[in-house]
Amino acid sequence: MASHPSADSLNLIFDADDTLWHSNIHFLEAEAAFIQLLYGRGLTDHVEIRGALRRHELSIIADIGYGRGPYVTALQRVVLELLPSDHHQSVQLEVERLGARLLGRTCELLPGVESTLRDLAQRHRLLLFTKGQPEEQLAKLERSGLRSLFNRVGIPIEKDATTYRLLVAQADLDSSRTVMIGNSPRSDINPALKAGLRAVYIPHPHTWELEHEEVDHGDDRLLVLASFPRLLDIF
């Protein structure tokens, strides 16, 4: 169960995808399968395919946010853009099957996540702050068995300095005692620091390419850890 924090407790805010559980590897595997599908229909320029996919992804994200459902919609739009109309129906059926596999995949917890969170929850207030489709993210959280450890769950469309400041105000957090923990420089680390929080960066080998940014290693509010269980050495 989530703890009742003491006066000296910290507010530890966690990202979910590729911080608590594997996620982007599922997208990479779906993308590889999709490219192979289009190869079978005569499209062999993977740069063109990936370029079209990124365009549609970003367009959909701007409208409805991140998630597996929106990603499948992007795949469907690429089919309509790049393939002749006589291929649309059959390929869309294959994309639906590919999408169903992606949507149904269980997100495996990263090593040491559960035991680390249970330990931290005894001493600190834990919050989850992860972008995506609310229904999808909440379903993954419930399946993970971790829901009871978090005092608060937030699922914004985007995570920037403004949304972090809003979270601080809504959750009545002391910025000086609040730490954002995640794998994404663009969404977890840099905007949290800009909003006046501390941050712990835990790199993941399959972080989405659009989440990559430089981090300021000279900022004394930033800590970089090699693995999630190392949090117990700090907190």
Nearest to 37 by CA among 26, 48, 49, 47: 49
Strand order in 11-14's β-sheet?
152-154, 125-129, 11-14, 178-182, 198-201, 222-224
If asked whether residues 118 and 61 sit together in one domain, one would say no
Tokens 């997208």 — which residue?
Answer: 27
If asked whether residues 18 and 28 sit together in one domain, one would say no
If asked whether residues 225 and 134 sit together in one domain, one would say yes
Nearest to 93 by CA among 41, 153, 161: 41
If asked whether residues 115 and 207 sit together in one domain, one would say yes
> Residue 109's pLDDT is what?
96
Q: Let me know if residue 36 belongs to a domain.
A: yes
> Residue 82's pLDDT is what?
94
pLDDT, tens digit only, all 235 positions of the chain: 455 556 679 999 999 999 999 999 999 999 999 999 999 898 889 899 999 999 998 898 888 888 889 999 999 999 999 999 999 999 999 999 999 999 888 889 999 999 999 999 999 999 999 998 898 899 999 999 999 999 999 999 899 999 999 999 999 999 999 999 999 999 999 999 999 999 999 999 999 888 899 999 999 999 999 999 999 999 9
Q: Is 8 left (phi over 0), alpha (psi -120 to 50) or beta?
A: alpha
Let me know: does 183 contact 207? Beta carbons within 8 Å.
yes
> Residue 66's pLDDT is what?
85
Domain at 59, CATH number: 1.10.150
> Residue 7's pLDDT is what?
60
pTM for this one?
Answer: 0.89
* Domain final residue pick, 48, 82, 104: 104
If asked whether residues 201 and 128 sit together in one domain, one would say yes
Q: Let me know if residue 60 belongs to a domain.
A: yes
Q: Let me know if residue 209 belongs to a domain.
A: yes
If asked whether residues 100 and 116 sit together in one domain, one would say no
If asked whether residues 113 and 97 sit together in one domain, one would say no
Owning domain of residue 34: 24-104
For residue 17, what are the β-bridge partners?
21
Domain at 180, CATH number: 3.40.50.1000
DSSP 110: P
Strand 152-154 relative to strand 198-201, pairing: unpaired
* Domain final residue pick, 83, 104, 125: 104
Number of folded domains that form the chain:
2
